[in-house]
Amino acid sequence: MAAHEIAHWINGEADAGSGAGRQAVYNPATGEQTGSLALAEPADADRAVAAARRTFDTWSTTPLSKRISVLFSFREKVKAHTDELARIITAEHGKTLPDAAGEVARGLEVIEYACALPETLKGDYSEQVSSGIDVFSFRQPLGVVAAITPFNFPVMVPLWMSPIAIATGNAVVLKPSERDPSASLLLAKLWQEAGLPDAVFNVVNGGRDVVERLLEHDDVDAVSFVGSTPVARSIYEKASSRGKRVQALGGAKNHAVVLPDSDLDLAADHLAAAAFGSAGERCMAVSVAVAVGDVGDELVEKLKERAADVVVGDGAEEGTGMGPLITPEAKERVESIVAGAEAEGAVLAVDGRGLVVEGREGGFFTGPSVLDHVSTEAEAYKQEIFGPVLAVVRVKDLDEAIEVINNNPYGNGTAIFTGSGAAAREFQRRVTVGMIGVNVPIPVPAAQHSFGGWKDSLFGEHHIYGPDGVAFYTRGKVVTQRWPKENDPVEASLNFPTN
């Protein structure tokens, strides 16, 4: 089958760009090229930003009720196209169809939250704060927002950003991953079908030079990014130094603590699902199990059983539990880290290297791996592996488990499995992590809260979506007003005004 051409989306239509070149897009389950992606030049990013800036002036002054009506329509469009979006995700990312459909569903939750923004954007009013003086506050949109999103959630992360940015009156230029860009183009068409004016949502595909242009562009007012920590730090430093508002979500090394009083079957089931789901290519994947006390041996045996039950294959086929990694380079890196862990003293309780899926020999597959007795000094512990690898670290008590987590430079998500409310309460108060699960392995907050980590997992003040998302994409104004009565002058004073 010939590779289909994938374009940009600028000013309400597909755009071939300036001819900077093309990049192949692959199906990770087969290793075959399925698409040919047009790469942008900085000049293409300039055109997208210019179009977004022009339309911002009218979109930002469009009545809120009309903006929200577009959001309601967009929600229905996305829901109706869930299966199509899921198939596109699976074809270019590799995750299973049910996992891809779940990604769309979590994006829908944020659209639904954005549909309720008239309540959030009401503002505040204080009457008679001083004689004849009232004070009120409200929020206004920023302008043009650059959204730079990762390969691992090609629908969900754009939907964590764009609905709130657009509902609050901003225009968006989306720069998706070059590895799985097609879903972004379908989202652009659905926005248009929902009645969104041209150029409020644009898509520009490209590499580092395009990102650099968006970071330096004078007409880009804010940058929202999700990706690795080194890139997040760099984007935050460059964009904020130019006066832009920035939220840059970085990497993770998520720990799950298992206490002796926990239901070990429950813990093992959920640890395996959280570690191996989507081939571990999630920033909220559990990559470290912290076994407390004497629970380690039994927990590892149960994890070995769960890993053996994972069906690895083409995510488009029914019954597959885990698909491939995104690229052959990703597979090579993951398997290299597993090999290195053994050399550093870890016990390979389950070795997923060298897996070949029958009929999909060209796919980028590796199997689940479980590494036991992993030292916190080992590379398999320190690195964000982004693959189906679960490291087991053994500690003597809850205090040591918390110390391990707090000493880690990442602070995205964590979890505890326990039957003790007291232990759970102590854990959630003491860990220096932004999102915490109690008997929940992947604690991604509901849309009415906000998603974001601590430490090297977030650069910037605001978390993503929810109330923090509204705060990020808007800025406040406070008005202090007086309307003097006729023939009743207000005395002026050189002194600092008081109430």
- Determine how many CB atoms are found less than 10 A away from the CB of residue 329: 10
The H-assigned helical ranges of 255-412 are 264-276, 296-309, 328-343, 379-382, 398-407
State pLDDT tens for residues 436-470.
999 999 999 999 999 999 999 999 999 999 999 99
Residue 310 has, within 13 A of its CA and on its CB side, a CA count of: 37
Q: State residue 470 phi and psi, 5-degree precision.
A: -60, -45
pTM for this entry:
0.95
What's the pLDDT at 494?
86
Q: Is the pLDDT of residue 495 over 60?
A: yes
Distance CA 360, CA 379 (A): 31
Sorted by where each starts, the structural domains of the chain and their CATH numbers stand as 4-251+453-479 (3.40.605.10), 254-438 (3.40.309.10)
User: What's residue 63's pLDDT?
Assistant: 97
Confirm if 260 and 427 have CB atoms less than 8 A apart: no
pLDDT recorded at residue 488: 78
- Whole-Å CA distances, 207 to 37, 38, 39, 161: 11, 11, 8, 20
- Exposure of 327 by Cβ count < 10 A (0-12 exposed, 13-18 middle, 19+ buried)? middle
Task: Report the C-alpha gap between 272 and 436 in whole angstroms.
Answer: 18
**Is the distance from CB of 256 to CB of 286 less than 8 angstroms?**
yes
For the cut 90, the answer to whether the pLDDT of residue 14 exceeds it is yes
Query: What tokens does 429 get?
Result: 């108060």
Percent of the chain with pLDDT over 70: 100
- DSSP symbols for 435-457: EEEES-SS-PPPTTS-B--EETT
463, two tokens: 């978390």
Give all strands of the β-sheet with 32-38 in edge-to-edge order.
Answer: 4-6, 32-38, 22-27
Taking the mean position of all CA atoms in its chain, how far away is CA 345?
Answer: 34
> Are the CB atoms for 352 and 368 separated by under 8 Å?
yes
Q: How confident is the model at residue 486 (pLDDT cuts 50, 70, 90)?
A: confident
Q: Alpha helix locations (H) across 39-177?
A: 42-59, 64-80, 82-92, 97-115, 117-120, 156-167
How far apart are the C-alpha atoms of 473 and 469, rounded to whole Å?
6
Strand partners, 225: 148, 248
Give Cα separations from 342 to 3, 53, 93, 279, 372 (angstroms).
41, 54, 29, 21, 10
Torsion of CA 229, 235, 240, 246, to 10 degrees: -70
Contact 306, 274 (CB under 8 A): no
Q: Is 283 a catalytic residue?
A: yes
- Rounded distance, CA 204 to CA 184, Å? 10
Q: What are the phi and psi torsion angles at 108 (to 5°)? A: -60, -35
* More confident call, 2 vs 112: 112
* Catalytic pick among 48, 283, 380, 389: 283
Q: Evaluate whether 410 touches 457 at the Cβ level (below 8 Å).
A: yes
What is the DSSP pairing of strand 171-175 with strand 124-130?
A: unpaired
Percent of the chain with pLDDT over 90: 94
pLDDT at 358 over 80: yes
- Find where tokens 């929940």 sit: 440
Tell me the C-alpha distance between 197 and 166, whole Å: 11
Q: Are strands 171-175 and 144-148 parallel, antiparallel or unpaired?
A: parallel
Query: Mind listing the pLDDT tens digit for each residue in 174-217?
Result: 999 999 999 999 999 999 999 999 999 999 999 999 999 999 99
Is the pLDDT assigned to residue 286 strictly greater than 80? Answer: yes
- Rounded distance between C-alpha atoms, residue 490 and residue 480, angstroms: 15
Question: How would residue 55 be classed by pLDDT, with cut points 50, 70 and 90?
Answer: very high
Query: In the predicted model, what is the mean pLDDT of residues 72-99?
Result: 98
The token duo for 196 is 């969104």
pLDDT greater at residue 342 or residue 112? 112
